[in-house]
Amino acid sequence: MKKIGFVGLGTMGGPMARNVLRKGFPVKGFDLNPAALEKHREAGGTTAGSPREAAEGVDVLITMLPDGPDVERAILGENGAIHGLKPGAVVIDMSTIDPAYTRKIGKALAERGVAMVDSPVGKTADHAIAGTLTLIVGGDPKAVDEVRPVLDCMGTDYFYCGGLGMGEAMKLANNFLANTILSATSEALVMGIKAGLSLETMMAVMKTTMAWNNQLGISLPKKALADDFSLGFMVRLAEKDHRLAVEMAKSLGVETPVGSAAFDVLKQASGNGLAGLDVSAVLRLREEQAGVKVRMAR
């Protein structure tokens, strides 16, 4: 049985680590938050005092952190995991970061005989708890195959996207589109309510046309339309992912006028005190501007 280290036991990482534990793998976890460490201990895991300590003696180290600089610091920093990892180990970074960071970190690890796989995840915190995340994977096929049993503890939908960094590229493209659809959908619903339409009429009509999307069908009814803005996925993290996607597009010479406008919406939401709410709070931003509310009948 492989020994697992896990750095980043937050909203997503905590339940992901617990699902690895439930499948019988020993998991040594590290997080800056003492409460997260205590929850990991209560679930049967052991804890470490640093990323380096979390990496010592493990076969697979998983990182689930907010952004590229956090991952770089946790792995390559003064007390980073690279100083504790043994040759032959594999690092799985499940954060959503710039692919350039992934490849830089992967190069440094390879020089120590450690392989790296990137596997950012799709879906929500509820899916992290259920172990049904979407796994968006990049890396050398041999390393990916080696850690597949560990990945399967956390997700049910698996997609291999290519070499190291390609999982990140796919995740950024995905979130870029999801955020853009959310912004446009919110504007359309608020426009309709302001014009005097009912939400029920709009939903019924849109379900029969090309306007229909999973924001309308799944996400918004569960969150914003039910007046629930508690966390699934924070506005500030959606803003970060979208920024990375726009930057990736720019580096590739791809123009993104529509997506860049959606990024401005996310920045506006963060600046209006919504940064810590679920990303569906983009709807609230449009509601407040228009002076209406869009909610499902109870």
234 strand-pairing partners: 278
Distance CA 174, CA 148 (A): 22
Closest of 48, 51, 53 to residue 63, by C-alpha: 51
SS (H, E, C) 67-94: CHHHHHHHHHCCCCHHHCCCCCCEEEEC
What type of residue sits at position 10? G
Whole-angstrom distance, CA of residue 137 vs CA of residue 151: 10
What b/e readout covers 261-273, taking b as 16+ CB neighbours within 10 angstroms? ebbebbeebbeee
Cα–Cα distance, 201 to 17 (Å, whole number): 43
- Residue 81 makes CB contacts below 8 A (sequence gap 6+) with 5, 7, 51, 52, 54, 55, 61, 63, 74, 75, 91
CA 289, chain centre distance (Å): 29
CA distances to 65, 86, 161, 178, 222 from 58, in Å:
19, 8, 26, 36, 39
Catalytic position from the list 123, 171, 223, 240:
171
171 is an active site residue: yes
- The residues annotated as belonging to the active site are 171
